[in-house]
Every structure is written in C-alpha cells, then in structure tokens.
A and B are shown apart, each in its own frame.
Chain A
Amino acid sequence: MLRIDRLDAHYGLFQALFELSMAVAPGETVALIGSNGAGKSTLMKAIVGALSVRHDGVQLDGVAIGGEPERKQLARGIALVPEGRRLFPSLTVRENLLLAARNGRQGPWTVERLLREFPVMEGFQHRPATALSGGQQQLVALSRALVCNPSYLLCDEISLGLSPLAVHEVYNLLGRARGEGLAIVLVEQNVKRALSESNRYYCIQKGRVVLEGQSERADHAKVAQAYFGM
C-alpha cells in the first residue's frame, strides 16, 4: 500500500501541496484529475523522490520513505513516466531501455520481452530516441519505466499531444501491465479517459484533494466542478 499522509511540498518559498492525503492499494489504478498547476506533477515528483518532503509524508507498506532519492524509490518499486516523455536524445531507443533495466529491479518485464511484444519498437530500437513520433516516444518512455519492474507505476500525462491511435496503443500497454498486478497512478487531463481507466479517482485543486471516489460511480458534474474550481 502506497500512502500519502498530509503531505506538504514547497518550491523554494512557494507552497504547492497542502496536507494532501491519498492512498494506492497494490494492483489498483488511481486517477489524479485536475487542471494545470493543481499540483499533480508535484505530487508525483514527491512520491518518486525528486522533491524533498517530510519523511513520513510518503509511506510504503507502513515504512516512511518520503524525501529519499529516486534510485532508492526505484529499488523499492516506484517508477515514474515523466511528463513530456523525457527520453535521452544521445541514446538510442534500445539504450534508453538498457540503462533503465540495469538500474531497475529484476522481473518479468525485460528489454527483450518489450521488443518482442512490440515489433514496431524492435524496428526502431537503434534509432536515437527522440527521432520518433510522439506516440512512439511515449511507448518507449512507458517501456523504460516498466523495464524497472515497479510495483507502483506513476504516469504523468501520457496521452498529451498524442493521436487517438497512439493513445490507444499506449493504454493497451498500460492495460497489459495492469493485468500483471501493477498498481498505477494516472495523471490525466482527459477526465473521461482518466475515469474509464481507473478504479478510484482524486480531484486535486490548488494542492489539495477536493473530491474523491469510485471511478465507476463518479458524478461527472461534480468532477467538472472540482476540476474547474467553480
């Protein structure tokens, strides 16, 4: 169980998160819904170790892990697919994956397996990672996180700027990962998709949770209200 407990987060003097609490159970998919600047990416960064926060603000199976560096969180099974993909331009697709695989945990997701399941990726594995279309890059970025064999996968805006077909492919891969028991935290601006792909949801506004619930029974009007802050 990944638990966020009354978490505050700051960028210098600016406070981005205010006593935010949420939880993700093993195997479930949780959606984070909110407009730009609401604090979703900040929360992801805090969980994964890219931001300094209170030690017991983030807990994994009862153990306090907040504020520890990324590689430790990765070793514990928490991986982030960052906003904007952020593949390494000086590395090929294959090298991007190899790098992460070597630093991540051992498990069912290997570079070979991903290339096998996505012949398209196998085709461009030796190309510089950024010499690809947006959809292809997103697949690689997602694979790069998967290859670390996480238990909790954080996905920050993975459908942003992608064609509908590409979005479909990306969520296809995500679905397969979920099928193998992976817990997923999904940050999505597309509310419909966020709700359809998740078990539960949290609406975040100005660094606070303003609404939460079961995705199936979500009241779209209420969610829209929370999203736009009206």
Chain B
Amino acid sequence: MQTSIETLTGGLMLGALYALFGLGLSLSLGVMKMINIAHGDLIVLGAYLCSTVMQALGAGPLTSMIVVVPAMFGIGWLLQRLLLNRVVGRGPLSPLLLTFGLSIVLQNVLQEVFTADTRSLQAGDLALHGFDIGGVSLGLLPLVSTLVSVAIFAMTAWLIGHSHWGRQARAVADDPATARLVGVDDRNFFALITGFVLAVIAVAAVLYGIRTPFSPTAGPERLLYSFEAVVLGGLGNVWGTFIGGLLIGVAQLFGAKISSGLGPFFGHLVFLLALLARPQGLFARNER
C-alpha cells in the first residue's frame, strides 16, 4: 500500500509538470486555433538554452530562469510575428504543416549544436532533499515543480478571467472577426500569446531538464503528453488541462510499475479510453 501511495503522489507531481507542458498548447489551440507540432521541441530548446546559460553564468538552473524565461518570451514573439502570423486563419492545415517543418529544423539544429548526447540540468543539492510525510517520501524538487505548476495555472486562470488580455483572448477564441471589430490587434496580440506560451514552456523546460535527461529528439514525446493533457481536459478549459496532465502522469507511473518500459504506453491507453468514453474531454466548455 505504501508504494502505491508513493506511485500516486509521484504520478501527480509528474502530472503537474505535464500539465504545465500542456498549458501552452491549450492556449494556442484555444485562441489561435492552431496546434504547434514543434511545441515539444521548443520545450527541449528551453532546456538546452538553460544549460547554455548555466555554463555561461556558472549559475544554477533556477537562477538561470531569469535569463531563459524572457529569452523564450522573445523567441515566441518573433516566431509568431515573423512566421506563424502568416498562416493563422488559413485553416488548421497550414500552421500544422509549417510547425511540422519547424520541428524537424529545431531537432536537427539542436543536434548540430549540442550533439545527440543526452544531458541534464544539474540542480546540485536541491535534487537530493526530500520530505517524509506520514511514511510517504516526497522529493523536494517534484514538490517545488508541482507548486510552481499550480501557481502558473492559477495566474493564467486569473489573467484569463479578470484581465483585459484574458478578455481579448476569450473574445478571439469565440469570434476572431468580431474581435477585430472591437479593436483587437490580432497581429500583436497573437505574438503576445505565443510569447507567453514560450515563457511558460521555459519554466516547464527547466523543471523538466532538472528531473529528466534530455536529448535533441526528446521533443515529440513531450508534445504527445502535452496534447493528451489538453484533449483529456477538454478544450477551452485551463484547469481541465491541469487535471488532464495529472491523469496522464498517474497513468504513466502506474503503468511503469506494471512493466518498466510501458509507462508512456499506459498514458496513451488512458488517453484513448477516455476519448472513447467522452470525446469532448472531461471538462469541455459548452458551446453556445
């Protein structure tokens, strides 16, 4: 029973990280109606960026975030303004194919620059600490990751519900043509969204890189987990993505217990079964 609880808590904490992966995807799908196939590769880019900054500054991964997060925001802004804005609104095919090409480019550029070897972000002592609560051991780092994830979700949910930007985002998601009529500047607004998405990816990437060794080709799997979290949770629902992520994380860890190589497979299976049972996702927003 003990280890089952640890698997559960471990799964929830892993899931919180997957949820954070998924948050960005959920936003760009909801507001700009496009899926970024390079999403996972951008996570990996963030991790490599952090690694580079750490080496350049001689700093730890969490401190390096001060540079990495704004840098990724800028990359996201430019990506949207220079490339993606040209294909938004042309239907879902163009952005999907463009980002598919982008994914290939990213993976191979990373491979050229950093070689195909895996590496991880050294967090030093931070990775070793843990707590013992009622006989269940919890690592400090996973706990911190989870809290960061919850905080970012809460902040995003608040922004969407109570800020001007959130209103614009919801309006554009509802009706882009009318949103333009009430003065939404979609070119810059989309760039802002993608910048924000990449900033969130940056945070997730650092937490991920500390926890798991990564390599240039690790992107596609991250995309799949992000995607599963978003679809499970239901489109248009921020906290739904969070729950979706938790479910995938738990499924993966329980699956790994059953057979060590089959963790991700069980995540996929849960996704597929949930899809069969409730295709619109667990917390889909009702279309009026």
Complex Cα distance, B184 from A86, in Å, reads 15
User: What mask results when residues 154 to 193 of chain B are scored 1 for a CB within 8 Å of chain A, else 0?
Assistant: 0000000000100110110111011111111100000000
Query: Which residues in window 50-83 of B have CB below 8 A to A?
Result: none
- Interface residue count on the B side (C-beta < 8 Å): 20
The answer to whether A70 and B174 touch (CB under 8 A), given A98-B164, A102-B164, A128-B288, is no
Q: Write the chain B residue with the least CB distance to A84.
A: B178
- Interface residue count on the A side (C-beta < 8 Å): 28
Chain B residues lying within 8 Å of A74, measured Cβ to Cβ, are 181-183
The answer to whether A148 and B175 touch (CB under 8 A), given A89-B288, A128-B288, is no
Q: Check A88 against B178 for contact (C-beta < 8 Å).
A: yes
Q: Check A103 against B288 for contact (C-beta < 8 Å).
A: no
| Cβ 8 A contact of A103, one of B175, B184, B285 | B184
Query: Which residues in window 43-99 of A have CB below 8 A to B?
Result: 48-50, 69-71, 74-75, 79-80, 82, 86, 88-91, 95, 98-99
Complex Cα distance, B164 from A79, in Å, reads 20
Complex Cα distance, B99 from A157, in Å, reads 41
Complex Cα distance, B288 from A71, in Å, reads 27
Q: Write the chain A residue with the least CB distance to B168.
A: A99
Complex Cα distance, B174 from A74, in Å, reads 20
Chain A residues lying within 8 Å of B185, measured Cβ to Cβ, are 69, 71
In this assembly, does A3 line the interface, its C-beta being within 8 Å of a C-beta of chain B? no
Chain B residues lying within 8 Å of A48, measured Cβ to Cβ, are 181
The answer to whether A91 and B171 touch (CB under 8 A), given A99-B164, A102-B164, is yes
Q: Check A50 against B174 for contact (C-beta < 8 Å).
A: no
Chain B residues lying within 8 Å of A200, measured Cβ to Cβ, are none
Q: Check B181 against A69 for contact (C-beta < 8 Å).
A: no
| Cβ 8 A contact of A99, one of B171, B177, B180, B285 | B171
Chain B residues lying within 8 Å of A49, measured Cβ to Cβ, are 180
Q: Write the chain B residue with the least CB distance to A130.
A: B288
7 pairs, A vs B, C-beta closer than 8 Å: A69-B185, A71-B183, A75-B183, A88-B179, A95-B170, A99-B171, A103-B184
Give B contacts to A, CB under 8 Å.
164, 167-168, 170-171, 173-175, 177-185, 236, 285, 288
